Amino acid sequence: MKNYLKNFFSRSENVIFFILISTAAFLRLYRFNDFITFLGDQGRDAIILRRIITFEHFPAIGAPSSVGQVFLGPFYYYFIAPWLLIFNFNPIGPALGVAFFSLLFLVLLYWIVKDLFNKSVALVSLILSAFSLVLINFSRFSWNPNLLPLSSLLFFYMLIKGFQKGKNIYFLLAGVFFGICIQFHYVALALLLPAFIVVAEYIYKNRSQIILALKNILLLIIGTIIVSFPLIIFDLRHNFLNSRNFIKLFSDQGASADKGLLEILNTFNEFNKIVFNVTINQTVSALILLALVILTVYFYRKNIHLKYILIFFIGALLLTSFYTGRKIPHYFGALYPFYFILLAYLLHYLMNRKFFLILLIFFSFYITFQSKGYYFLTNQGNFQIEKSQNIAKKILDNVNSPTNKFQVTGLPDKYSDSTYRYFLELWGKRPLAKDSLDKAEELFVICESECSPIGDPQWDIAYFAPRKITQEWKIDERYIYKLER
């Protein structure tokens, strides 16, 4: 082991790799507990993860999408659940799991790019990804879309390896990783267009062995079906509820674009704002896109992998642009690795042309713009887990119902109560389910500021029909009201 480490650090690129990964780990883990996001989605997921671990319930569907109520698959729940167990049901566990896999993404990105290109391109892509504010933000809390960069990169790599080696296992694994991608978030369906293009090219090139080529593509489809099987069964049992909601979402006139090339440029410009953490002129974005295309065409015969990377990036960007709603960072989750690789290749080309000054200026500005968003270095922590625990503890200490029939709700509705419900359930005081028609004997209302819950039309309050507030407390800037009839 000692000799291995000595040999490893004797190479300068390995030293740089170690420094970059260590820096990336610091940026992703520093004051982790102070700033961890633990809101409605994370509370809901924690409840589901706990029930999986305790063998109480095994879900066949995942979280609903924010638009259209289309359910994802349950893969993320089963994948991240062990981290909740490892950390003794502390909800920081799944978030640390995401941080771990985000660091694994960086390691695999370096290794894959080094395999497809060279170590210089690999190191540049690692620098871009390690300091990326958007990827750092993804790695600091538990949420299914946050692992899309990892799964999309693995899908691409397995598919390309399948084309190169012709081995069945690569096509099967490519299908598995694509199935995982769309279970993390349906925005990954943007990968369908580039995948279709490269698969069609593969079939055409292997038309003399068409049966073997089609067999490999069948394995690709089978891999996707295997991972998506629970969701498929759910849809079959519920009269294709998910499929119908999905079709309805994209048949909505406001859900697709009709501005053609302009919409693609608008989307790319929004994407660049997120990637570089700075407002970029649309003309500059157009020039970047043009430069990447020209570079790929120029080097087409030298490295076919560059062509595949560009096809995946442009194809996924094109489909993403069809959604005309507000595009937020995780909508581009599948695109980040391809863009960073393309930029790395462009910068590597400049480096080989002895444009070191341009490269140095670029990295200086890039890291400066990224670091402006490193809130965890200077800001005061929000301690969301601790605050939810404190509120849940106050509710726990004041439940007096002899039958434990009590209800918990947030006001207004946009403030979810799932974070408090998680700790109450963990401590053995489970409130009535949100959709329960049982009449609670006590109702606890949590408000972000002082409020008047009596007479509020919110469903939980109206159904309970309270007559009086018996107690109230202020905990960590939140107001808790205990209501009775």
Q: Please check the confidence at residue 106 and state whether its pLDDT lies above 90.
A: yes
Alpha-carbon Rg for the chain in angstroms:
25
Task: To the nearest 10°, report the CA torsion of 161, 162, 166, 171.
Answer: 150
The confidence score (pLDDT) of residue 293 equals 80
Mean pLDDT of 52-58: 96
Structure tokens at 327: 């595009």
Given 339, 354, 377, the domain boundary residue is 377
Residue 48: inside a domain: yes
Q: What pLDDT, in 10s, does the model give residues 316-363?
A: 999 998 877 788 999 999 999 999 999 999 888 777 666 778 888 899
Least Cα distance to 421 among 435, 437, 405, 434 occurs for 434
Looking at the structure, do residues 90 and 220 belong to the same domain, yes or no?
A: yes
SS3 130: helix
- Predicted confidence band of residue 245 (pLDDT cuts 50, 70, 90): confident
The band of 258, judged by pLDDT with boundaries at 50, 70 and 90, is low
Same domain for 336 and 479: no
Per this entry, what is the length of the chain?
A: 485
Collapsing DSSP to helix, strand or coil, 268 comes out as: helix
Judge if 45 and 72 occupy the same domain.
yes
Per-residue 3-state assignment (H helix, E strand, C coil) for 409-452:
EEECCCCCCHHHHHHHHHCCCCCCCCCCCCCCCEEEEEECCCCC
- The total domain count for the chain is 2
What CA–CA distance (Å, rounded) separates 54 from 50? 6
pLDDT at 253: 45
Q: Using the predicted structure, report yes or no on whether residue 9 has a pLDDT greater than 70.
A: no
316, 190 Cβ separation under 8 angstroms: yes
Distance CA 396, CA 163 (A): 58
77/40 same-domain check: yes
Output 301 or 377, whichever has higher pLDDT: 377
Neighbouring CB atoms inside 10 A of 260's CB total 9
Please report whether residue 4 resides in a domain.
no
Please name the residue ranges forming H helices in 238-303. 241-251, 261-276, 282-298
Q: Averaged over 256-265, what is the pLDDT?
A: 68
Task: Supply the mean pLDDT for the chain.
Answer: 90
Q: Would you state the structure tokens that stand for residue 189, as one six-digit string?
A: 């369906």
Are 408 and 453 contained in the same domain?
A: yes
pLDDT at 359: 83
Higher pLDDT, 475 or 261: 475
Which of 322, 347, 377 is the last residue before a domain boundary?
377
List the helix and strand counts (H, then E) for the chain: 21, 4
Alpha-carbon distance 98 to 325, whole Å? Answer: 27
**For residues 155 and 132, what is the distance between their CA atoms, to the nearest angstrom?**
22
User: Does residue 402 share a domain with residue 360?
Assistant: no
**What is the sign of the dihedral through the CA atoms of 107, 109, 113 and 119?**
negative
Q: Is the pLDDT of residue 22 over 80?
A: yes
**Omega of the bond prior to 412 within 30 degrees of 0, cis?**
yes
For residue 182, tell me if it sits in a domain.
yes
Within this chain, do residues 308 and 395 fall inside the same structural domain, yes or no?
A: no
Q: What percent of the chain has pLDDT over 70?
A: 93
Q: Is the model's pLDDT at 74 over the cut of 80? A: yes
Both tokens of 435, joined, read: 């959709």
For residues 367 and 401, membership in a common domain is answered with: no
Residue 256 has pLDDT above 80, yes or no: no
Q: Does 359 lie in the same domain as 277?
A: yes
With bands split at pLDDT 50, 70 and 90, how would you rate the model's confidence at 91?
A: very high
Out of 377, 397, 417, a domain closes at 377
Q: Are residues 295 and 395 in the same domain?
A: no
61's enclosing H/E stretch is none
Same domain, 299 and 431: no
Q: Contact at 8 Å (CB) between 107 and 149?
A: no
pLDDT exceeds cutoff 60 at 364: yes
Asked if the structure places residue 130 within a domain, the reply is: yes
Residues whose CB is less than 8 angstroms from the CB of residue 317 and which lie 6 or more positions away in sequence, other chains included? 190, 264, 267, 268, 271, 335
**142 belongs to a structural domain:** yes
Q: List pLDDT tens digits, range 366-416.
A: 999 999 999 999 999 999 999 999 999 999 999 998 888 999 999 876 668
Residues β-bridged to residue 443: 407, 483
- Does a structural domain hold residue 348? yes
Residue 353 DSSP SS3: coil
* Mean pLDDT, range 9-17, rounded to an integer: 78
The answer to whether residues 116 and 262 belong to one domain is yes
Residue type, 258: D
**Beta bridge partners of residue 406, listed in sequence order:** 442
Residue that has been written with the tokens 């990377």 in this structure: 309
For range 10-28, the mean pLDDT: 91
For 184-237, what is each residue's pLDDT tens digit? 998 999 999 999 999 999 999 998 889 999 999 999 999 999 999 888 888 888
Kindly list the distances between the CA atom of residue 240 and the CA atoms of 71, 233, 236, 247, in Å, as whole numbers in the listed order. 12, 9, 6, 11
Residue 240 amino acid letter:
F
294 vs 406, residue with greater confidence: 406
Q: How far apart are CA 24 and CA 16, in angstroms?
A: 12
The pLDDT assigned to 5 comes to 45
- 27 domain residue, yes or no: yes
Query: Is residue 7, in this structure, part of any structural domain at all?
Result: no
H or E stretch at 480? strand 478-484
Structural domain for 462, as ranges: 385-484
Sheet containing 468-475, strands listed edge to edge, beginning at the edge strand earlier in sequence: 406-411, 442-447, 478-484, 468-475
Degrees (nearest 5) of the Cα angle 425, 427, 429?
A: 55
Q: For residue 44, what pLDDT band results from cuts at 50, 70 and 90?
A: very high
Q: Which of 139, 114, 136 is nearest to 125 (CA)?
A: 114
User: Is a pLDDT exceeding 60 seen at residue 1?
Assistant: no
Tell me whether residue 395 is exposed, middle or buried, using C-beta atoms within 10 angstroms of its C-beta: 0 to 12, 13 to 18, 19 or more.
buried
Task: Please write the tens of the pLDDT for every residue from 421-458.
Answer: 999 999 999 999 988 888 899 999 999 888 889 988 98
CA distance 173 to 335: 20
pLDDT of residue 250: 64
What per-residue confidence (pLDDT) applies to 175? 97
Q: What is the DSSP letter of 279?
A: -
**Model confidence band, residue 285 (pLDDT cutoffs 50, 70, 90):** confident
List, for residues 140-166, the tens digit of each pLDDT value.
999 999 999 999 999 999 999 999 998
| Conformational region of residue 439, where left means phi above 0, alpha means psi within -120 to 50, and beta covers everything else | beta
Mark out the alpha helices in 61-147 (DSSP H runs).
75-86, 92-116, 119-130, 133-138
Per-residue pLDDT, 199: 95
